[in-house]
Structure formats: structure tokens, C-alpha cells
Amino acid sequence: MIRTICQDQEILSAPSRKAVKKDLRLVQDLVDTMLAYPGCAGIAADIIGENIQMLAVKILDEPVVMINPVIVMQKDPYQAREGCLSHPGLETEVTRSFVIEVEYRDRRWKRSRMRLTGVPAQAVQHEMDHFQGILI
């Protein structure tokens, strides 16, 4: 189900808790909402009003869900301009790593690890900032 984009600063600035198996109910809503916004590279659960460590990101135009992700390697920092669905029309400059490796649970709760570069790596870093209540 496509969910409304949250713009409530209290929710968006709050830290997210670790996801548990019962939170898998949010996976499809997260993916559906991300896909409903052309040009959206990723989405964190707080964007749909849920302060849970879960995100979806497009990799080769396919949605990948990462639950409780942890970046275990990052390199090649660069400056990037980013926007966010929660703050339409606002962009800011941030430092991101061009290459990351992330460990997470997938939508079946299986442990996974992925190496990402470029836009998908940037999107994962942006969405993980949401888990700390960090906004653009």
C-alpha cells in the first residue's frame, strides 16, 4: 500500500529502533511508497511514519529492502547534493562514501551483505541517517 509521506518533524528527528520480525508487515508499504515517487532512489521507514531501522533502495531499478543495516566498510568520500521526500524542494550538500559494504537482514529475515557504489550507496547512507534522526 502506498503510504503518505511523513513531514512531522517530531517523528523524522526521532531515532529509530531496531526492527523485529513482526515489522516485516511494513516491507511492502515501504517498497510501494518508494516506487510511487519517480526519481526516488530510496526510502527509510520514518518517511512513512514508522521509526524502525528499515529502508528500501533501488538497485538496477529493482527494490531491495534492508532491515537493521550496518555499514561495515566505506571509502572514497565525495561531496553530493541531496534532497528528501520529507522536505520537498530542499537540497543540501553532504559528504558521502562512493563505495560501501552493508550487512542487513533481507525481507525474508535472512542475513545478507552487499557492496554498493554510486547512487545506491549514497541512497543507503542517506536513509541510514534517518535512523539517527538526521535530516538534510
Active-site pick, 82, 93, 103, 127: 127
Q: How far apart are CA 102 and CA 71, in angstroms?
A: 4
Identify each DSSP E strand in the chain by its residue range: 42-44, 54-59, 62-84, 87-105, 111-117
SS3 content of the chain, % helix, strand, coil (to 5): 25, 45, 30
Q: Which three cell numbers stand for residue 61?
A: 531499478
Q: Is 103 a catalytic residue?
A: no
Catalytic residues: 127
